[in-house]
Amino acid sequence: MTLSRDDAWKKIALHPDPTLEELFAADADRVDKLATRLELTADGLGVLFDWSKTHLTDDLLADFEALAEASDFDGMRDKLFAGEVVNPTEGRAAEHSALRGVGKESSIEEAEALRERMRLLVGALHEGAFGEIKHLIHVGIGGSALGPDLAVDALARDLPLVDVHVVSNIDGVALEEAFEACDPATTFIAVASKTFTTIETMTNAQSALKWLADNGVADASGRVIALTAAPEKAVEWGIDETRILPFAESVGGRYSLWSSIGFPVAVAVGWEDFQAMLDGAARVDEHFRDVNGRDNLPLCAAFADLLYARIKGAQTRAVFAYDERLRLLPDYLQQLEMESNGKSVTVDGSPSGPTAPITWGGVGTDAQHAVFQLLHQGTHLVPIDFIASIEAGDTLDAAHHTILLMNCFAQGAALMAGKSSDDPHRCYAGNRPSATILCDDIDATTFGALIAFHEHRTFANAVLMDINPFDQFGVELGKEIAKKIEKGGERFDASTEALLKAAGVG
């Protein structure tokens, strides 16, 4: 008999609570069951996903699979890949996987045509059609900036074809810093905005255009390219349609790295690596689409996420990248996960119960000397993801990378095992969960796979919680009030009025 969603949750909540050490002692095959390698390429490049140091058990996994059935997970996944409406509040599909070649056929064909247009423009820029271009200032915010910034930082550290600077903050200090690093005579500007109306982006874009003109660039607007789902707005702003790279309205901002929003990535690393990034993501798309139950890696990760967030009361989830190339990954995941699943109502508007935990993190080994005191001896339950690469990203003595990996694996072991002591100040409780994602290397293929894995993990969490991960109305209210302040004539609370007066604003 198929359980209801509520009954499935109730059954999950009734499970016993053994320690991690007890779980390992009771099952000699635990690692084999909960650690899975996903091959990405024919020559064996892959990623190992190890969830064995979480409190998942065979029985829990069976009941989470029952929850997935009660939630019509398979049906929602089919709708996602078929290009059907999965964002009911806005009446939209979510077709980021089609950008990678996995999805509705007509959407894939449209994405391929738009991508070919981008490939030609990237090639023209590299071949000197716009003169000598050494720098690109990419202006965007949110999903239009976080993904490109992460990808460029991760993949273009070794002699990028073009020096890329991603600017998102409206604070002029950020834009001036980019200006200082660039020669206006050899700089191109990319303006990335889905609507081409975002005030921070358009203000920064106008200042960048003025900077070019003020520094002797005769045709400043000819050095600007638009990346948008509203090409007519870009034309109105003054950009020639030959330098507008559109993407579909069905692609959400935080899922748009694979579209023309990825232009700065292709400019920095070249088209071959940009395509490899898409291919790595497509491999995960195929796995997520075709594999069922606990063997589906993003779904299994969602089972663990919800065990801690909904059953064990964890309010945060930490991500620590033991690789400098992924230093911006926690920032990227903050938006992906919290803007997607930071909701308080279900799809039908009913109260939801706990949803997304707060995502945070840092880079190992720096984080060990900053926040791991709380993780080992604090009172908060914080499930952790460790992400590392077997292949080093540097050419220094191998001891650097060996020490890095030893520290990564040691932290997971210590969090689980703990250590008793007669001195309470030196006692480690242990039984603290973690997962490890171990890549063969951080190259374009594995990078694409990592990002797609987290996209699908976010979607799987949402389906199991019966929430919509594709709208983000929570970001609108503050923008509305800022516009009212700019317009004037509105009264606010006493504190806000005092702040406006003190700053001379409004």
Angle, in degrees to the nearest 10, between helices 199-214 and 172-181: 40
Q: In angstroms, how far is CA 150 from the centroid of its own chain?
A: 9
Active-site entry in 65, 95, 110, 339: 339
Active-site entry in 127, 132, 272, 369: 369
Strand, helix or coil for residue 468: coil
Sheet holding 384-389, edge to edge: 35-39, 46-50, 434-439, 384-389, 316-322, 358-363
In the residue annotation, 369 being an active-site residue is answered as yes
Residue with tokens 């620590």: 320
Count other Cβ atoms within 10 Å, centred on residue 10: 12
Looking only at the bridges linking them, the beta strands covering 46-50 and 434-439 are antiparallel
φ, ψ for residue 224, nearest 5 deg? -115, 135
Active-site entry in 10, 479, 483, 501: 479
Does residue 17 contact residue 55 with C-beta atoms inside 8 Å?
Answer: yes
Q: How far apart (Å, rounded) are the C-alpha atoms in residues 350 and 49? A: 34
Residue environment code for 322-358, b if the CB has 16+ CB neighbours within 10 A, otherwise e: bbbbbbbbbbbbbbbbbbbbbbeebbeeeeeeebbbe
Q: Identify the DSSP state of 180.
A: H
Q: How far apart (Å, rounded) are the C-alpha atoms in residues 352 and 355? A: 7
DSSP 92-134: B---TGGGGT-S-HHHHHHHHHHHHHHHHHHHHHHTTBTB---
In the residue annotation, 479 being an active-site residue is answered as yes
DSSP 204-258: HHHHHHHHHHHTT-TTGGGGEEEEES-HHHHHHHT--GGGEEE--TTS-GGG-TT
The residues annotated as belonging to the active site are 339, 369, 479
